[in-house]
Amino acid sequence: MTPPTRHVRISSPEPVDRSDGHPALQASVTNVPVTPAAHTAGKSAYIDPNEEAQSTHLPFDPDKVTPGPSWNPNSYFEPRADDRASSPTEAAAGARSGEELLRRLSLIPDPTFRHDLADVDPRAAHPGLNLSGRIISATFVVPYNLGYAPGNDWELNGRQGTSALFDSFSYLASAASPWNHTLVGWTGEVKEIVGARPTSSASFSSASHQALANKAAAPIPVDSKAAPEPPPQAEGIRVGRSDRERLERQLERDHGGRIVPVWLYDEKDDERDEVVLKDQSRWRQYAEHELYTLFHYKQNEPADGRAARKAWADYYRLNKMFADRILDEYKPGDIIIVHDFYLLLLPSLLRQRLPNVYIGFFLHVPFPSSEFYRCLSRRKEILEGVLGANMVGFQSYSYSRHFSSCCTRILGFDSSSAGVDAYGAHVAVDVFPIGINAASTQRTAYGDPLIEEKIKGIRELYAGKKIIVGRDRLDSVRGVAQKLQAFEMFLERYPQWHEKVVLIQVTSPSSVQSHRGADDDSKVVNKISDLVARINGNYGSLSFTPVQHFPQYLSKEEYFALLRVADVGLITSVRDGMNTTSLEYVICQKESHGPLILSEFSGTAGSLGGAIHINPWDLGGVADAINEALVMPAGQRQEQFDKLYKHVIANNVQAWTNNFLKRLMTNLSSFDQSFATPALDRAKLLYQYRQAKKRLFMFDYDGTLTPIVKDPGAAIPSDRVIRTLKTLAADPANSVWIISGRDQRFLDDWMGHISELGLSAEHGSFMRHPRSEEWENLTEKTDMSWQSEVLDTFQQYTDRTQGSFIERKKIALTWHYRRADPEYGAFQARECQKHLERTVAKKYDVEVMTGKANLEVRPRFVNKGEIAKRLVNDYGDGPGEPPEFVLCLGDDFTDEDMFRSLRQSKLPQDHVYSVTVGASSKQTLASWHLVEPSDVISVISLLNGSADASNAGAVAVIEGSVPESRT
């Protein structure tokens, strides 16, 4: 028997209550969703034209399967009696026509069809992955708006509207899925239930809050002659452990699937075990104000850097708290799927603490080109965050290309159409155009008698008129202004359509822009209102209005009635992700076959080949397309519609979910991820540094403290490098060493004046201790007769390779080819290395080392690892003697000796931070990764107490706040 399912309305993760501003934003207008399955932030479906079609055959019959959690009235799995036919004979019984017979028989699964094993038993399909059978989905908010009254059950109200994303979660939690599913999401802005407690404890800064009007809440006794007492200071909403646990139990009980709420709090009262919620909207600020804006090819006006700095710190903390909550739920073998632009840092934060975890990431909004993305101030951190995933999915092929290009141009990682080589591993990049809940949308649109009544009323109201329908969010990227301008040009160019065509435009609020201020919304509203008034004034009459504009939400009955009655669907987005209205329009035109005019900048344009594609900026082209759609012959309309309908039905949200997971598992099985090196966890580093009283630092020079340059003599340290090192070494608890392949003279010239620094030259051949000017030669008894033979060989290759040169040190000899042709220089280096290994290396106790555009020969016992071992041992190994914090950074193959030495030491591994530097995808013995020398200086500055913008998040996690600064 099918279990009962709660029916509630939900929407995309973004909406926030808004009770002020433009009339269209009033709760009385917006309390009903305009579009089931529409996501505020948008979706995309551009695809690689050369990509093979993905399988969309589902391993279940969606009409027969046990329902999953029903979060919305448009859920894929509607509760229904289990009265389906079990055989073709039973299904055919009672059929009154051939069409009905075919329809009934199509519901019976083909017994000869063999499903992919990964669809029904992913653990058996991929035994090498040791899967647990569990999926943890991380999304920004849970599917409910929460109402809170201390000590009482929580009030769970479905979020307005719904999205394909939540339908995907519903499928994963259903009996049709082979997975056990857990959904992790923020509680959203918790709203205190009015009258539940005194006003003094009810104030908080959410935009949806309204002051209590209950007179009984006034101070008692009330003295009419006395001045009223001043209201207490707002202290926020305090939620205790028992109430938090009650919510978790209630979500699981009422929802039917496991939902784990993330508490994003301003303060935590450890003594009373309460979280304090104050400025709840702060957690949206960076994602919606910075990321959403830029990802849609818009930019904000210059503002005070303090606000951006604080917003970034909150964004980092948000992702960190998500990581903490997921780790509480995680078990080995789980797959973690992270969704959308609110959680871009989460994959890396998880990878830092679980190096071998399986992570997939999917972005539901556009990803901009590198020329636009590079305008983002925290561009490196965002890319590094996403690259913590094993696979990154996008709606469109162009978005995936943009992402890979950004990783190469900004981070320096190698990339291709298949993915990005980062941190010693391959991160797959792929395209998965999301679909809608097609079966449920069709049942809803055609199974409600109230919709039939609405259709009848609309047809009577616009009898004899062609109806063009548009539904968009109140956002400049949706192209409503362009649509109205194009419609005006259409009426001007084609006067024969005067009083024969009506445009019904529904414009609903977009809460993503709520942080940008009412002025931005007002500008869009005013422009739209002016255009509507102008068109109706020029082309309307007392009996006819060509544009019917409704700035509000519609009921789902009105919405589906409009889509069904429309003669043309018109979508003119100037930048959009996944536009689900276009997909729902196709489902609703099953009988009418109305043409769809679709912007080429919409995410669905790439997959909806049967639509009329337009450039919304070409107003004349859009006007011509409207006329073309209105006069299109019935046969052509049928042909185009069939293509659209076939795609939407086959590429539904369940097929999208299956394809994403199967591709992720295939990539996990194909690429060895065990060598991946996560980005350095700066918060953990800072915490450990502050706890330690004895600290040891070991830094390489070239490529670590300074960038690699063609002329080694030009690699001089900047003033910032010198000041940063000097500050670090001035702390008496710190022992700071530069361990370089450079000779003594170079290190003396540029670092020697910092007396607190320890210096090691020529890979450990010479040492100069802190506060000493004397160099100790560790190789003075070594036989150096091999140098003449190596020098002759190097000279031969120098003569053959233009731009190469020899560097002669006291102990080692180095052949550089940085100035030579890169390919020819590398070829000559390989030949030279083979020659030396056949000759000199067999006669003497020396080794031939490859570096960055160089080849070096040195005594075998001389390496940086011996110096690292010596420095650690100098502390002693008795109780309390070893260093409590070790930070070792290097970029080259020679630095691996240091990392190896530290791994072999007896030091606790959580006290040792070995960090490789550079964009190379090399496999390393280091435990952490930084991209470039500027990151090294930033990390050292963090330990020195400087909370620059890139370190603001780490400081916020450790201290709970960010110092005031604009940098």
Query: Mean pLDDT, to the nearest integer, of 480-502?
Result: 94
630 within 8 A of 622, measured Cβ to Cβ: no
Band of residue 62 on the pLDDT scale cut at 50, 70, 90: low
The reply to whether 30 falls in a domain is no
Tell me, yes or no, whether 412 and 457 share the same domain: no
Tell me, yes or no, whether 160 and 259 share the same domain: yes
Task: State which of 411, 431, 451 marks the end of a domain.
Answer: 431
**Residue 885, phi then psi, degrees to nearest 5:** -155, 125
Range in 48-62, 305-319, 817-831, 854-868 the model is least confident about: 48-62
Tokens of 264: 């994003």
Query: Mean pLDDT, to the nearest integer, of 300-318?
Result: 87
Model pLDDT for residues 575-604, shown as the tens digit of each residue? 887 788 899 999 999 999 999 999 998 888
**Residue 767, phi then psi, degrees to nearest 5:** -135, 140
Residue whose C-alpha is closest to residue 126's, from 188, 178, 81: 178
Query: Mean pLDDT, to the nearest integer, of 745-754?
Result: 92
Domain CATH number, residue 795 = 3.30.70.1020
Tell me, yes or no, whether 806 and 755 share the same domain: no
**30 versus 836: which is more confidently predicted?**
836
Residue 922: predicted pLDDT = 74
The reply to whether 265 falls in a domain is yes
With H, G, I as helix, E, B as strand and everything else as coil, classify residue 29: helix
927 within 8 A of 915, measured Cβ to Cβ: yes
Range in 77-81, 617-621, 755-759, 799-803 the model is least confident about: 77-81
Band of residue 19 on the pLDDT scale cut at 50, 70, 90: very low
Range in 294-303, 334-343, 695-704, 721-730 the model is least confident about: 294-303
DSSP string computed for 675-712? T--PBP-HHHHHHHHHH-SSEEEEE-SBTTTB---SSG
Q: How many domains does the chain have?
A: 4
Tell me, yes or no, whether 384 and 530 share the same domain: no
The reply to whether 196 falls in a domain is no
Please state whether beta strands 358-362 and 391-394 pair in parallel, antiparallel, or not at all (unpaired).
Answer: parallel
Domain CATH number, residue 591 = 3.40.50.2000
Angle between the 164-172 and 653-670 helix axes, to the nearest 10 degrees?
70
Q: Is the pLDDT of residue 216 over 70?
A: no
For residue 849, what are the β-bridge partners? 856
Residue 208: predicted pLDDT = 36
Residue whose C-alpha is closest to residue 572's, from 530, 633, 621, 531: 621
Task: State which of 837, 858, 879 marks the end of a domain.
Answer: 858
The reply to whether 665 falls in a domain is no
d(CA 448, CA 454): 10
391 within 8 A of 427, measured Cβ to Cβ: yes
The reply to whether 94 falls in a domain is no
For residue 469, what are the β-bridge partners? 504, 569
Sheet with strand 134-141: strands edge to edge: 258-262, 180-186, 134-141, 335-339, 358-362, 391-394, 425-431, 419-422, 414-416
Tell me, yes or no, whether 549 and 400 share the same domain: no
- Average pLDDT in the chain: 82
The reply to whether 90 falls in a domain is no
Model pLDDT for residues 408-434, shown as the tens digit of each residue? 999 989 998 889 998 888 999 999 998
862 within 8 A of 765, measured Cβ to Cβ: yes
Q: What share of the chain is helix, strand, coil (3-state, %, to 5)?
A: 40, 15, 45
Tell me, yes or no, whether 627 and 696 share the same domain: no
Residue 782: predicted pLDDT = 75
Cα dihedral sign, 23-28-33-38: positive
Tell me, yes or no, whether 365 and 477 share the same domain: no
Task: State which of 410, 431, 452 marks the end of a domain.
Answer: 431
The conformation of residue 605, written as its DSSP 8-state character, comes to T
Q: Give me the half-sphere count of Cα atoms (radius 13 Å) on the Cβ side of residue 614.
A: 29
Q: Is the pLDDT of residue 190 over 90?
A: yes
Structural domain boundaries, residue 580: 440-650
Residue 69: predicted pLDDT = 58
Domain CATH number, residue 908 = 3.40.50.1000
d(CA 776, CA 765): 8
Residue 92: predicted pLDDT = 43
**5 versus 127: which is more confidently predicted?**
127
Model pLDDT for residues 530-571, shown as the tens digit of each residue? 999 999 999 988 889 999 999 888 888 999 999 999 999 999
Specify the pTM: 0.79
Residue whose C-alpha is closest to residue 606's, from 111, 206, 198, 47: 47
Tell me, yes or no, whether 325 and 404 share the same domain: yes
The reply to whether 622 falls in a domain is yes
Tell me, yes or no, whether 738 and 799 share the same domain: no
Q: Is the pLDDT of residue 39 over 70?
A: no
Query: Mean pLDDT, to the nearest integer, of 370-375?
Result: 92
Q: Is the pLDDT of residue 14 over 60?
A: no
Residue 708: predicted pLDDT = 84
Tell me, yes or no, whether 762 and 802 share the same domain: no
Residue whose C-alpha is closest to residue 502's, from 582, 562, 581, 558: 562
Tell me, yes or no, whether 910 and 954 share the same domain: yes
The reply to whether 44 falls in a domain is no
Query: Mean pLDDT, to the nearest integer, of 691-713?
Result: 91
The conformation of residue 286, written as its DSSP 8-state character, comes to I
Residue 148: predicted pLDDT = 93
Band of residue 525 on the pLDDT scale cut at 50, 70, 90: confident
Tell me, yes or no, whether 397 and 262 share the same domain: yes
